[in-house]
């Protein structure tokens, strides 16, 4: 689904440039909490390996559908029958079955209607007064009437005898009807145009709930905001509509020769062999088809979780070939009313569709359906297998963005079938992430604008947002765009660009898609896979970015020249202030304009809250900056920069003047001071030597052990302080 992401990003930019509107004080960093073990709630099982792949005994049930449906375009009514072949591959006997009745969202007494606030919502029917919801005419099991109970958007069928485990089959037939809402929760609807209505039809037949190894039956009600979790199978659909309508749908049209004229069929053949868009049914021919009666369009799609379709007498149709990496071909199709046409609008829809499908197929996993159809309706943007609905008024960059986004969903969740009802970020967030890469690749970056991720930190990690991991029904509706789309998408970008690197990330991400194609992964399967394939421990990242609302705040604490002289190099101290640690990139810019980059790995923060390292240089420093490429969303950018104006002057010294061995009457310890590479080191007899930082007035510190050493002017004595206790030593 689309939350108008370009607009969202623009809104974020407005907030960011309003000063410190979202600058926040991060809580004190606790490294034991960030990196504590036992992140995963359970070890590997027979169904799900600890490596992140399906286990040796993984199973999932399947649902095949034979759908027959008729459209009454005057009443906006759908009348149909669904024949369902449900196979129980689980090890459990089933005494009842659960189905989803999502059209019941539009019944006046639905729970979804009850949670719409007075201020309105994008969910529901926008206050339309009509008789919505399913009218169930009959339910049969193996040809006989069966007891069933409807509870809001769910139906439970009681079985006369238990369905056998590991292969038991139930054959269900449901006869039903419903009136389509004009605005169906931004997922389906009816749009009036100058040449007739455009019907975009989805959630239009009873669908099996998923029975899995995680929750058993997944029966959360459909409230509008959260999307779907569906079983895979094969679907045939016979769709009867007025004869002057053209129908496009998920899958392959089986009776194309009968549905189109001889000339139109010839154009389809041209399109199958053309990389450029071929007009199938132009605007000039819309009024020619005035035949009466009805036609039945027959479609089939295999290995699918759902089926959607659109029908209208107003459609302009065009198409072009899609080239897939294996050498196979698919077909990009666009269906839109005349009002949406033109090269600045839907005239480029097929070009956009073809580019998106080809990019994702090369980059991640090959597209699996015979066609990819983009339909102009009244939805902001909504996805289904092989077909998407985008708004008829979209054009230019907006049309590219929504087309690319909705077809990206054919990878998440159409191919990788995660539970959208619970984990919207696993389809919307993943898709938002891959959209960024495809937009950069499209037409040499025609619509690409590089985002400064660093500037989004204060906004993304605002205390007003819930954690990503909760479901969309459990978060404020205004926050869904951030928490399901933008923040998880940004998190994957950070993981790719700043933590793993593109090569390791891409290999792991492709492995995840390949392992879980047409299966049901959980967040833990994704986390396990990314760690096992990349070879990196990432629990600190999952814990902070997805499960909690941890903030990132790193700073340059101090910059000091060694022994007060820049020719000896410098010591730089960086701090991790926020609870979410990150690998740290430090750029040193010298006064001659040259730069030097240092990398601090995340492992430094496993047992430190700050870290000091040496820059080997004989140049004077102008500034020290964290994250110079703007890749880390930090809540406080102000402390990421140190400039020479902040430098505290320290007199130059020769560390050799402070060398020697000192003893004490109070404690039986001898301290030896020695010079190495221009720096003074201390060492207690039999112990490891430690570096000393000069702070002026003959004083040196070793902050890690809370040690302060002050030499007398004649260097004959020192005052040694540690942990509040002071001792006097004399030079031997």
CB 730 within 8 A of CB 660: no
Q: Residues in the chain, how many?
A: 732
Secondary structure, 3-state, 26-82: CCCCCHHHHCCCCCCCCCCCCCECCCCCECCCCCCCEEEEEEEEEEECCCCEEEEEE
Task: Report the pLDDT value the prediction gives residue 367, as an integer from 0 to 100.
Answer: 98
pLDDT at 25: 54
Can you give the pLDDT at residue 42? 82
How much is the pLDDT for 10?
A: 38
Instruction: Identify the pLDDT of residue 27.
Output: 64
> Tokens 């003959």 correspond to what residue?
698
Least confident of 26-30, 407-411, 629-633: 26-30
State yes or no: pLDDT of 527 exceeds 60: yes
Angle CA 637–572–602, to nearest 5: 70
Read off the pLDDT of each residue in 38-50 and give the average, rounded to a whole number. 92
Q: Which numeric CATH code is attached to 554-646?
A: 2.60.40.10
Sheet architecture: strand order including 381-384: 278-281, 316-323, 329-336, 371-377, 387-391, 381-384
Q: State the Cα–Cα distance between residues 313 and 292, nearest whole angstrom.
A: 12
**Interval 706-723 mean pLDDT:** 93
* Count of alpha carbons within 13 angstroms of residue 538, beta-carbon side: 26
Query: Which parts of 364-452 fold into alpha helices (H)?
Result: 396-408, 428-441
The band of 4, judged by pLDDT with boundaries at 50, 70 and 90, is low
Q: What is the pLDDT of residues 329-353, one digit of tens each?
A: 999 999 999 999 999 999 999 999 9
Q: What is the pLDDT confidence band of residue 23, given thresholds at 50, 70 and 90?
A: very low
**pLDDT recorded at residue 60:** 98
- Residue 563, sorted as left (phi over 0), alpha (psi -120 to 50) or beta, turns out to be left
Task: Report domain extents, the chain.
Answer: 38-54+452-546, 62-112+133-148+189-413, 554-646, 655-731
Taking the C-alpha atoms of residue 269 and residue 123, their distance in angstroms, rounded to an integer, is 40
Q: What is the mean pLDDT of the chain?
A: 94
Model pLDDT for residues 255-302, shown as the tens digit of each residue:
999 999 999 999 999 999 999 999 999 999 998 877 789 999 999 999
Residue 15 has pLDDT above 70, yes or no: no
pLDDT tens track for 456-467: 999 999 999 999
Q: Give, in words, the CATH class of 655-731.
A: mainly beta
Asked whether 522 and 214 are in contact (CB, 8 A), the reply is yes
Mean pLDDT of 56-63: 98
What share of residues in the chain are helix, strand, coil (percent, to 5)?
25, 35, 40
């Amino acid at each position: 689904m689309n939350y108008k992401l370009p607009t969202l990003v623009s809104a974020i930019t407005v907030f960011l440039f309003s000063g410190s509107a979202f600058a926040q004080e991060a809580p004190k960093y606790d490294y034991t909490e960030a990196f504590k073990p036992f992140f995963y709630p359970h070890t590997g099982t027979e169904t799900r390996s600890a490596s992140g792949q399906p286990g040796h005994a993984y199973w999932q049930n399947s649902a095949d559908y034979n759908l027959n449906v008729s459209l009454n375009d005057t009443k906006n009514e759908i009348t149909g029958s669904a024949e369902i072949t449900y196979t129980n591959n689980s090890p459990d006997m089933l005494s009842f079955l659960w189905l989803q009745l999502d059209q019941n969202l539009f019944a006046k007494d639905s729970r979804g209607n009850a949670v719409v606030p007075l201020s309105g919502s994008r969910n529901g029917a926008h206050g339309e007064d009509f008789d919505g919801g399913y009218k169930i005419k009959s339910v049969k099991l193996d040809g006989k009437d069966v007891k069933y109970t409807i509870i809001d958007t769910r139906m439970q069928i009681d079985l006369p005898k238990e369905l056998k485990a590991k292969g038991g089959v139930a054959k269900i037939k449901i006869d039903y009807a419903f009136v389509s809402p004009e605005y169906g929760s931004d997922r389906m609807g009816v749009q009036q145009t100058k040449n007739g209505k455009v019907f975009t039809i989805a959630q239009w037949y009873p669908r099996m709930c998923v029975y899995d190894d995680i929750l058993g039956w997944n029966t959360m009600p459909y409230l509008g905001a959260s999307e779907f979790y569906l079983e895979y199978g094969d679907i045939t659909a016979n769709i009867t509509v007025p004869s002057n309508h053209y129908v496009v749908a998920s899958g392959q049209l089986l009776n194309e020769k009968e549905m189109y004229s001889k000339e139109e069929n010839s154009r389809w053949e041209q399109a199958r062999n053309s990389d450029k868009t071929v007009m199938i049914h132009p605007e000039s021919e819309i009024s020619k088809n005035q035949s009466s009666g009805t036609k039945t369009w027959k479609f089939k799609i295999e290995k699918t979780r759902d089926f959607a379709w659109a029908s209208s007498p107003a459609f302009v149709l065009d198409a072009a070939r899609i080239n897939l990496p294996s050498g196979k071909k698919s077909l990009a199709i666009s269906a839109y009313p005349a009002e949406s046409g033109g090269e600045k609008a839907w005239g480029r829809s097929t070009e956009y569709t073809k580019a998106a499908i080809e990019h994702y197929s090369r980059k991640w996993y090959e597209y699996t359906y015979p066609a990819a159809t983009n339909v102009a309706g009244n939805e902001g943007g909504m996805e289904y297998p092989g077909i998407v609905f985008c708004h008829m008024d979209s054009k230019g960059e907006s049309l590219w963005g929504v087309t690319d986004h909705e077809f990206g969903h054919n990878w998440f969740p159409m191919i990788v079938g995660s539970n959208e009802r619970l984990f919207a970020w696993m389809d919307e967030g993943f898709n938002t992430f891959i959209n960024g890469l495809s937009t950069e690749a499209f037409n040499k970056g025609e619509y690409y604008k590089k985002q400064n991720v660093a500037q989004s930190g204060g906004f993304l990690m605002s205390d007003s947002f819930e954690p990503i991991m909760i479901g969309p029904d459990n978060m404020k509706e205004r926050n869904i765009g951030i928490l399901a789309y933008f923040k998880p998408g940004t998190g994957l970008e950070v993981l790719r660009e700043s933590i793993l690197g593109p090569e390791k990330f891409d290999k792991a991400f492709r492995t995840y898609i390949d392992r879980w194609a047409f299966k049901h992964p959980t967040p833990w399967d994704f986390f396990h896979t990314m760690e096992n394939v990349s070879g990196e421990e990432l629990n600190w990242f999952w814990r902070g970015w997805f499960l909690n609302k941890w903030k990132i705040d790193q700073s340059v604490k101090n910059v000091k020249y060694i022994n007060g002289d820049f020719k000896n190099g410098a010591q730089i101290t960086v701090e991790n202030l926020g609870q979410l640690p990150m690998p740290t990139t430090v750029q040193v810019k010298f006064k001659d304009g040259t730069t030097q980059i240092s990398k601090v790995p995340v492992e430094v923060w496993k047992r430190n809250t700050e870290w000091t390292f040496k820059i080997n240089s004989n140049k004077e420093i102008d500034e020290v900056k964290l994250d110079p490429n703007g890749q880390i969303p930090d809540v406080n950018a102000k402390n990421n920069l140190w400039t020479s104006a902040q430098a505290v002057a320290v007199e130059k010294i020769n560390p050799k003047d402070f060398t020697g061995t000192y003893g004490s009457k109070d404690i039986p310890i001898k301290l030896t001071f020695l010079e190495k590479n221009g720096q003074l080191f201390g060492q207690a007899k039999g112990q490891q030597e430690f570096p000393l930082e000069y702070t002026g007035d003959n004083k040196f510190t070793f902050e890690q052990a809370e040690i302060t050493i002050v030499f007398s002017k004649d260097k004959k004595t020192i005052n040694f302080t540690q942990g509040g206790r002071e001792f006097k030593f004399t030079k031997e």
